[in-house]
Amino acid sequence: MKSRRIELVARPDGIPELEQFRLVDVDLPELEDGQILVKNLAMSVDPYMRRSMDAVATDMEPWPIKAALDGPAIGRVVESKNPQYSVDDLVESMSGWQEHFVSDGDEFIAYISSNTAIVKRELAGSLKPKDYLSLLGVASQTAYFGLMCGADMLAGETVVISSGAGTVGSIGCQIAKINGMRVISSAGSREKVAWLLNDIGVDEAFNYKERAIGDALEQACPNGIDLVLENASPEHFSACLPLMNEMKTLLIAGMVGIYSSGGKVKNIDNFEYVLDSFLRIKSYPFMEFLDSYDKFVADMTNWHDEGKLVVKETMFDGLQAAPEALRSLFDGNSFGKVLVKLAD
């Protein structure tokens, strides 16, 4: 059977360029006993992928050159020689960047199991297949588990969430509002700031390209900061430190701003605030909380169905658009969760 996939042909220096990828035709092998053939319906692109493009990766194996890549995907079983899977089963995997793949039916755990591992997903209620990459995807899990399981959210206290127009940020803003917190967020354009204020309902938002981060935070947080969900950069993280109330927590979900510049965090010149205010800094893998996955699904779908939580999506069409979709995460053109539609 013929299929197509995207390969990496050169490692980038900075923001990925389209010519560093190529679309290739591949021949899929005949299924052996125990194997499953999956047709991908949609795939996700995420900021961590930029780090996978480097020759040396600190948290995951680097992407190979001229070979199959990996990333979150949702698909349908189109052929099965495995009694645990039937044709038309909906399955999630880490075998994005390709239209079809063969799985041995290994158990799926995102970022941990083999790329071809799969898990069945159900379309209960109003769920659509793509929702497992957006509403219920790993970025949403990062926001949910960090705030709901890794922090203390107290009604009336102030949380600062950077990159509020991204998936982790926007989901985090809404979860914090649902839990009664006062939410301050940042974004990189006036359009995104307006969306945060008018559609997401944050209490204050600012454009970090037009205002000094420290000044904006000081004005928005007259009673200090009680919790941070950091997604953006060392500069944003550092600007929060002087405003933190004693014995409060800074969660680090990621720092997109450093992913295209070698992944290095420069020295933070005001770290004394961490010591003086007895602050807690926590970086966490969402996999740490997967025993709460069923509650995550229930909460997220209920909040979504009740109109308490919305997911902004940007959908690219066709596998050939995947490199452009990934690049959009770093050139300021992405808005919300970025997906690539591969099939109906």
Residue partners of 323: CB distance under 8 A and separation at least 6: 6, 16, 18, 20, 21
Q: Are residues 156 and 248 in the same domain?
A: yes
pTM tops 0.85: yes
User: Mean of the pLDDT values across residues 158-178?
Assistant: 96
CA–CA gap between residue 17 and residue 328 (Å, rounded): 11
Same domain, yes or no: 168 and 57: no
- Measured CA to CA, the distance from residue 323 to residue 45 in angstroms comes to 9
Residue 225 lies in a domain: yes
46 and 76, same domain (yes or no)? yes
How far is 198 from 114, CA to CA, in rounded Å? 41
282 with 165, same domain: the answer is yes
pLDDT in tens, 19-68: 999 999 999 999 999 999 999 999 999 988 998 898 887 667 899 999 98
Please indicate, yes or no, whether residues 182 and 320 belong to a single structural domain of this protein: no
DSSP 8-state symbol, 77? E
Instruction: Output the six-digit token pair for 281.
Output: 């800094």
Query: What is the overall mean pLDDT for the chain?
Result: 93
Question: Of 251, 271, 287, which residue constitutes the final position of a domain?
Answer: 287
What's the CATH number where 224 sits? 3.40.50.720
Alpha-carbon span 62 to 51, nearest angstrom: 8
CA distance 127 to 285: 25
Residues 222 and 156 in one domain: yes
Look up residue 154 and give its amino acid. Answer: L
Confirm whether 257 is domain-assigned: yes
CATH code, domain carrying 23:
3.90.180.10
Q: So what's the pLDDT on residue 225?
A: 98
Residue 336, by phi and psi: left (phi above 0), alpha (psi -120 to 50) or beta?
A: left
Average pLDDT over residues 290-318: 94
- Residue 185 burial by CB count (10 A; 0-12/13-18/19+): exposed, middle or buried? buried
* Domain coverage including residue 52: 2-134+311-341
pLDDT in tens, 170-213: 999 999 999 999 999 999 999 999 999 999 999 999 999 999 99
Q: Is residue 26 part of a domain?
A: yes
Predicted local confidence at residue 262, as pLDDT: 66
Question: In this structure, is residue 297 part of a structural domain?
Answer: no
CB atoms inside a 10 Å sphere around CB 93: 26
Q: Which residues pair with 101 in a beta bridge?
A: 38
Q: Is residue 126 part of a domain?
A: yes
Q: Is residue 326 part of a domain?
A: yes
At 247-266, the pLDDT tens digits run: 999 999 988 777 766 667 77
What number is the average pLDDT over the span 131-154?
95
Q: Among candidates 229, 242, 231, 249, which has minimal Cα distance to 268?
A: 242
Do 145 and 126 fall within a single domain? no
Of the ranges 50-54, 125-129, 164-168, 221-225, the best mean pLDDT one? 221-225
Are residues 193 and 329 both part of a single domain? no
Tokens of 279: 């602050």
Residues 162 and 278 in one domain: yes
Q: Which helix (H) or strand (E) holds 272?
A: helix 272-276
In the three-class reduction of DSSP (H, G, I as helix; E, B as strand; rest coil), residue 337 is classed as: strand
Q: Has residue 294 been placed in a domain?
A: no
How many domains, in total, are found in the chain? 2
